Amino acid sequence: MVFSDKKSLTRHKLRDRVFGLVFRIEFYDKDDLEEQIGFFEESGKEEYLEEDLEYIVTKFRGVLSSLSSIDELIDKCAVGWTRNRMGKCELASLRLGIYEMLYDDDIPVSVAMDEAVEIAKTYGDNSSGAFVNAILTKVKDIS
């Protein structure tokens, strides 16, 4: 029997790792993102339990497959802002939050919103959390 000192990550930590992949969207061509997933999986074999790694990659692929509809919602709800003007952290937080709000039935909408705001606060600047919250509230109101 093989024992591992790896422990399953909390949902918050899993989401944080998904955010890291979603953040890459703005820096790589869509065709290169599969290669990025491969790099992440290869480096994660030592760090993550197999089911955690699968969760992270599956959720990221879900965001990718829904990206055009997610971005349409961002464009519709971010009055006065374009995605090009947004901080990359805020944009990635929005993409992940909207994905969880609309496409992940396991995550309550309020939790998806709170977590996206917390990620924006952690990685963005002082106004990032409020910015993300305002847009996600509009998304919630129209969906």
* Residue, of 40 and 119, whose pLDDT is higher: 119
The token pair that represents 50 in the structure block = 């197999």
Tell me what the mean pLDDT of segment 122-132 comes to: 96
Which H or E run includes 106? none
Give me the architecture of the 11-142 domain, per CATH: Orthogonal Bundle (1.10)
* Residue, of 71 and 1, whose pLDDT is higher: 71
Give the separation between CA 30 and CA 109, rounded to whole angstroms.
28
The whole-model pTM stands at 0.92
Tell me what the mean pLDDT of segment 12-20 comes to: 96
Give the separation between CA 129 and CA 3, rounded to whole angstroms.
40
Tell me what the mean pLDDT of segment 41-47 comes to: 85
Taking CA atoms, 99 is separated from 74, 102, 103, in Å, by 11, 5, 5
Q: Where are the domains of the chain?
A: 11-142
Q: Read out DSSP for 70-84?
A: HHHHHHHHSTT--TT
Residue 6 has pLDDT above 80, yes or no: no
The token pair that represents 101 in the structure block = 């709000």
Residue 1 has pLDDT above 70, yes or no: no
Tell me what the mean pLDDT of segment 98-119 comes to: 97
Taking CA atoms, 11 is separated from 15, 31, 112, in Å, by 6, 28, 11
